[in-house]
Amino acid sequence: MKTEVSAQANVSAANVKQPQAAAGGTARILDGNALSAKLRDQLAQRAAALKAKGVTPCLAVILVGEDPASQVYVRNKVNGCEKTGIRSLKDVYPPDVDPKVVLDRIAELNADPGVHGILVQLPLPKHFNSDAVLEAISPEKDVDGFHAENVGALMQGNPRFIPCTPYGVMKMLESENVPLKGAEAVIVGRSNIVGKPMAMLLLSKSATVTVCHSQSKELAFHTRRADILVAAVGRAKMITGDMIKPGATVIDVGINRQADGKLCGDVDFESAKDVAGVITPVPGGVGPMTITMLLTNTLESAERTVK
Ligand code: NDP
């Protein structure tokens, strides 16, 4: 194992007015980098205030294997910590590591009062029981919000940690004052990481939520009804402009690598931008917000220790 420590009222859908596209029919771009920068400035101030009270917020990240995408995600998370004044620990294990070694390390981090957040980068190699690993993380330090106790708390409307990607999407919607109450929200994708918690969060804000998946019939029928459309599938450009309601807010969670090496989302940005009212780009949309919300959860966890 290699450990690195960083330096540091009923509303009908028809009445829910959604943001409109700018003149010329081009959607407003919801810039995740700009919003993240603003939020991270606020987080840095909160981290400094905590340090003044003698508490340095700390996130421990565990990476198993050499998956290049995972390595990039972990690097971005560690960099995000450093720039915000959050200390980070990074444990890197070879792909064939005995899962017990990782579970023992999680137990050690659970017991360490100086660690406020623990994250295991997914996916784990096939010989791991991922659920068992996620359940081994103390729910009080589960800054990804994947532990069953935290999933249950979110479901009950009393979350301790909100999963970072849907949390980031909610912040983006809030930043644009997108009306949620009574809005038709359609989520494409039902994963535990994105789709399901996204549905819970939108439901908690009184949107009418539809969740589509690989077995859904007539996907376009659903997406065309959406005031808020969240795509979280992992299929390049599968949502095209003709599948979008004019003026809708389109949130593209997908990250797909194209043949030319460039990244794209699940939404075909070129055709969607002429129909949507607001749209997130890929890259530079939901991605940076995910990391920002991870930093937020870590800080909140550290703040709880001094309250
Ligand atoms: P999963 O593979 O876990 O889930 C994909 C979901 O899409 C499943 O529910 C699947 O349905 C559904 N799906 C697959 N094909 C279709 C189809 N043809 N029509 C409708 N639904 C379909 O992926 P994740 O939720 O983990 O991630 C989704 C995407 O978001 C990926 O591109 C991922 O890289 C990206 N991502 C981005 C993040 C960010 O920070 N921006 C963070 C996390 C993920 P079924 O359940 O029936 O199989």
CA of 254 to the centre of ligand 1 (A): 7
pLDDT at 12: 43
**54-138: same fold as 7-30+176-287?**
yes
Q: Establish whether 77 is a catalytic residue.
A: yes
CA of 26 to the centre of ligand 1 (A): 27
Element (H, E) at 68: helix 68-84
What does pTM read for this prediction? Answer: 0.93
pLDDT at 307: 72
> Which residues, at least 6 apart from 139, have a Cβ–Cβ distance to it below 8 Å?
147, 149, 150, 160
Q: Choose the CATH number for 54-138 among 3.40.50.300, 3.40.640.10, 3.40.1190.20, 3.40.50.10860.
A: 3.40.50.10860
CA distance 214 to 216: 6
Q: Establish whether 42 is a catalytic residue.
A: no
pLDDT at 11: 41
Assign domain 7-30+176-287 to its CATH architecture.
3-Layer(aba) Sandwich (3.40)
CA of 233 to the centre of ligand 1 (A): 3
Residue nearest (by alpha carbon) to ligand 1 atom 35: 254
CA of 16 to the centre of ligand 1 (A): 28
Closest alpha carbon to 115 in 128, 125, 105: 105
pLDDT at 13: 45
Determine whether the shortest distance from the Cβ of 254 to ligand 1 is under 6 A.
yes
Determine whether the shortest distance from the Cβ of 153 to ligand 1 is under 6 A.
no
- Which mutation among 30, 172, 213 tests ligand 1's pocket best, with the greatest number of atoms within 8 A of CB? 213
Q: How far is the CA of 294 from the CAs of 60, 82, 146, 245, 269, in angstroms?
A: 12, 13, 12, 32, 26
Determine whether the shortest distance from the Cβ of 164 to ligand 1 is under 6 A.
no
Name residues of the chain where pLDDT drops below 70: 1-25
Mean pLDDT of the chain: 94
Q: Establish whether 121 is a catalytic residue.
A: yes
pLDDT per residue over 180-238, tens digit each? 999 999 999 999 999 999 999 999 999 999 999 999 999 999 999 999 999 999 999 99
Beta strands in 98-196 (DSSP E): 117-120, 184-188
Residues 85, 146, 167, 291: is their CA dihedral positive or negative? positive
Domain boundaries, the chain: 7-30+176-287, 54-138
Determine whether the shortest distance from the Cβ of 286 to ligand 1 is under 6 A.
yes
CA of 234 to the centre of ligand 1 (A): 5
Determine whether the shortest distance from the Cβ of 263 to ligand 1 is under 6 A.
no
Residue from 18, 91, 121, 142 carrying the catalytic annotation: 121
Peptide bond into 123 cis (omega under 30): yes
Q: What SS3 state is found at 148?
A: helix
pLDDT at 18: 63
Residues 195, 200, 201, 205: is their CA dihedral positive or negative? positive
